[in-house]
């Protein structure tokens, strides 16, 4: 929470129970990470990288189902 994660590489990280609130994660790379839930409305994510599988963690709040 309230952390500057600009440019951080989360390399194959299990982010289960990690809390992202009011964080700056611009240009952060989440593309190989998993088990995260990040609210794009409560965090700065400009140019952050996510895999298609990671989209679920960005949409969870909206109860949107992403089908593979």
Work out the pLDDT band at 65, boundaries 50, 70, 90: confident
Domain parsing of the chain, residue ranges: 1-63
Neighbours of 21 (CB within 10 A): 11
Whether 68 has a pLDDT exceeding 80, the answer reads no
Confidence (pLDDT) at 33: 97
pLDDT tens-digit profile of 3-62? 999 999 999 999 999 999 999 999 999 999 999 999 999 999 999 999 998 988 999 899
Q: Are 48 and 27 in contact (CB under 8 A)?
A: yes
Closest to 18 (Cα-Cα) out of 65, 51, 47, 8: 8
Quote the pTM value: 0.89
The tokens of 59 are what? 């949409």
Confidence (pLDDT) at 27: 98
């Amino acid at each position: 929470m309230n952390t500057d994660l600009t440019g951080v590489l989360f390399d194959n990280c299990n982010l289960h129970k990690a809390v992202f609130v009011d964080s700056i994660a611009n240009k952060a790379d989440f593309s190989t990470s998993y088990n995260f839930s990040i609210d794009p409305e409560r965090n700065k994510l400009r140019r952050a990288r996510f895999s298609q599988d990671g989209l679920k963690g960005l949409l969870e709040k909206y109860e949107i189902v992403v089908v593979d």
